[in-house]
């Protein structure tokens, strides 16, 4: 069952690459929807009271090094798999039929989705690493060949170099775990049960932390993000921003902390990362405040929001880490919605500059309403999803140190300022005139039914996760392996 989750989009993607344009789109949509159905079945039949990996599949792979092909899901990964499949499906659906070289594009997107599914499924460290690298390759080609803007080449290269540096550090870490753990295996539960000595853990922690921090990204390793997000075409951006950043946070929870639970006590990594996270929260928010381009604004706000996730993870308590998981899902829901909206505004007006855009609400009331809900979710309005995650990560951080939580609140104060500038700048103010006289040059076209259908699941999830987050987090205690840092 679990193998099918990564093989389906991988095979599907390879086939779609060689199909003619029209068939490719239909095929890709079918594959993506089947993938979504598959993950939903796993999530629905998931047993929240069971401890240990579920639906596990294990086969020896490289016997002499104890590498095994070991897949499994637990309360941490199951909803991330669903998120991956959902955003994958939306990304495929958001690709217009007239896309350049559509077959290859869709095929690569499915391959990338497959790689990310593999990351969430792996219970073997080497397998994890293989999938980690595998998701990067299609991402690189997608960014390089379909990039927009002035320097897609540059953005793609920067993205790949940053990530590759991280990956190589991680490869050293992966091998280090094998060599220094007395278990001499790559199996995650076994490694977590027998961690290496604290001094070794110290070094391994640094290697893994760097790899994951680049991917998330954690300040100050974020400088690939604006270039990559700015040049990424929207469908690809949904996957890149919506899911790929979460693989880094997932790695921290799945690999970094459980495998290195007690790094040396004279230097506490567990303090470095939350401080960097808080700096990132404020830094990203200030950057977002300075942007005029809507896409750049959303990209920078993403840095701020990812900071909450890291802060929650390193609060090292149940509230913080549960908040981090919720926030991973929230960010995966909200950011794709924002990028979709920005793309639609751009398609209608030919501009993404908030100082040029104005008064679109009368011409497109439905889009204005949808945008309002997404804006409120993004700025953390209680009752919508983001609040739950931010509240819990900050509550977790408060217990580590109240000052971290107070500093994290800077992000909460700045978020309404930049988000309302974004929303009001595009939708409100007088230049467009009262409802009867919209400004000249604005395409008076509200959201099409297809666009509404595309964003509707994301909107629904904003309400569902805001009012009933327990739906997701009740599964979290069913962890696959001993995680010393999580106390339930």
Shortest distance, position 201 Cβ to another protein, whole Å: 25
194 vs 429, beta carbon nearer another protein? 429
Answer for which of 140, 269, 314, 339 binds another protein (CB under 8 A) is 140
| String of contacts with another protein for each residue 356-395, x by CB under 8 A | ---x-xx--x---x--x---x--x-xxx---xx--xx-xx
Asked if 186 is part of the footprint of another protein (rule: CB under 8 A), the reply reads no
**How far is Cα 315 from Cα 312, in angstroms, rounded to an integer?**
5
**How far is Cα 31 from Cα 16, in angstroms, rounded to an integer?**
9
Asked if 98 is part of the footprint of another protein (rule: CB under 8 A), the reply reads no
How far is CA 53 from each of CA 21, 50, 176, 296, 476, rounded to the nearest angstrom?
Answer: 40, 8, 24, 39, 12
Answer for which of 44, 436, 441, 449 binds another protein (CB under 8 A) is 436
In the region spanning residues 301 to 320, those forming contacts with another protein, defined by CB under 8 A, are 317-319
Q: How many residues bind to another protein according to rule CB under 8 A?
A: 81
Q: Label the pairing between strands 54-62 and 67-73.
A: antiparallel
How far is CA 176 from each of CA 130, 194, 201, 444, rounded to the nearest angstrom?
Answer: 16, 13, 9, 60
Asked if 157 is part of the footprint of another protein (rule: CB under 8 A), the reply reads yes
3-state DSSP helix/strand/coil % of the chain, to nearest 5: 70, 5, 25
Among the listed ranges 129-137, 256-264, 270-278, 441-449, the one in contact with another protein (CB under 8 A) is: 129-137
Give the SS3 label for residue 168.
helix
Asked if 430 is part of the footprint of another protein (rule: CB under 8 A), the reply reads yes
Q: Which two tokens stand for residue 155?
A: 């953005």
Shortest distance, position 225 Cβ to another protein, whole Å: 10
Asked if 228 is part of the footprint of another protein (rule: CB under 8 A), the reply reads no
Shortest distance, position 345 Cβ to another protein, whole Å: 16
Shortest distance, position 104 Cβ to another protein, whole Å: 14
Asked if 129 is part of the footprint of another protein (rule: CB under 8 A), the reply reads no
Asked if 424 is part of the footprint of another protein (rule: CB under 8 A), the reply reads yes
Shortest distance, position 373 Cβ to another protein, whole Å: 10
E strand segments, 9-121: 54-62, 67-73
Contact 345, 315 (CB under 8 A): no
In the region spanning residues 267 to 296, those forming contacts with another protein, defined by CB under 8 A, are 283, 286-287, 289-291
Give the SS3 label for residue 237.
helix
Q: Residue holding tokens 């497109």?
A: 364
56 vs 164, beta carbon nearer another protein? 164
Give the SS3 label for residue 72.
strand
Chain Cα centroid distance, residue 469: 18
CA-nearest of 329, 317, 369 to 249 is 329
Answer for which of 49, 98, 266, 434 binds another protein (CB under 8 A) is 434
Asked if 161 is part of the footprint of another protein (rule: CB under 8 A), the reply reads yes
Among the listed ranges 188-196, 203-211, 228-236, 422-430, the one in contact with another protein (CB under 8 A) is: 422-430
């Amino acid at each position: 069952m679990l193998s099918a989750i990564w093989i389906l989009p991988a095979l599907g993607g390879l086939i779609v690459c060689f199909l003619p344009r029209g068939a490719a789109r239909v095929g890709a949509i079918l594959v993506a929807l089947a993938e979504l159905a598959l993950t939903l079945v796993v999530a629905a039949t998931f047993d929240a009271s069971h401890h240990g990996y579920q639906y596990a599949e294990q086969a020896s792979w490289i016997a002499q090094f104890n590498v095994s092909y070991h897949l499994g899901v637990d309360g941490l990964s199951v909803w991330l798999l669903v998120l991956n499949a959902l955003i994958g499906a939306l990304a495929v659906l958001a690709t217009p039929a007239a896309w350049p070289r559509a077959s290859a594009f869709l095929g690569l997107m499915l391959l990338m989705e497959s790689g990310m599914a593999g990351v969430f499924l792996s219970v073997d460290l080497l397998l994890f690493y293989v999938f980690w690298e595998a998701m990067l390759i299609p991402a690189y080609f997608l960014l390089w060949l379909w990039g927009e803007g002035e320097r897609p080449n540059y953005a793609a290269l920067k993205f790949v170099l940053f990530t590759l540096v991280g990956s190589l550090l991680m490869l050293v870490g992966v091998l280090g775990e094998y060599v220094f753990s007395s278990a001499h295996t790559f199996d995650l539960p076994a490694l977590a049960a027998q961690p290496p000595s604290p001094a070794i853990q110290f070094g391994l922690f640094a290697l893994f932390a760097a790899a994951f921090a680049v991917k998330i990204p954690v300040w100050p390793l974020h400088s690939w993000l604006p270039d990559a997000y700015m040049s990424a075409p929207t469908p690809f951006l949904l996957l890149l921003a919506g899911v790929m950043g979460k693989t880094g946070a997932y790695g921290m929870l799945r690999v970094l902390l459980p495998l290195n639970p007690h790094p040396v006590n004279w230097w506490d990594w567990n303090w470095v990362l939350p401080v960097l996270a808080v700096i990132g929260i404020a830094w990203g928010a200030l950057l977002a405040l300075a942007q005029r381009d809507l896409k750049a604004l959303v990209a920078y706000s993403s840095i701020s929001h990812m900071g909450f996730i890291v802060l929650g993870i390193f609060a090292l308590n149940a509230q913080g880490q549960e908040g981090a998981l919720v926030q991973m899902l929230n960010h995966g829901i909200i950011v794709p919605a924002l990028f979709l909206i920005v793309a639609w505004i751009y398609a209608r007006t030919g501009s993404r500059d908030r100082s040029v855009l104005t008064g679109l609400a009368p011409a497109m009331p439905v889009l204005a309403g949808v945008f309002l809900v997404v804006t409120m979710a993004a700025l953390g309005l209680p009752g919508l999803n983001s609040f739950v995650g931010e509240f819990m990560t900050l509550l977790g951080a408060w217990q580590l140190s109240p000052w971290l939580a107070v500093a994290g609140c800077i992000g909460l104060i700045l978020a309404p300022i930049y988000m309302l500038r974004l929303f009001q700048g595009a939708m409100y103010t007088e230049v467009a005139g009262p409802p009867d006289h919209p400004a000249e040059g604005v395409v008076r076209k509200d959201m099409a039914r297809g666009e509404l259908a595309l964003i509707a699941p994301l909107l629904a999830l904003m309400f569902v996760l805001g009012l009933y987050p327990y739906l997701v987090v009740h599964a979290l205690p069913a962890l696959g392996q001993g995680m010393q840092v999580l106390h339930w």
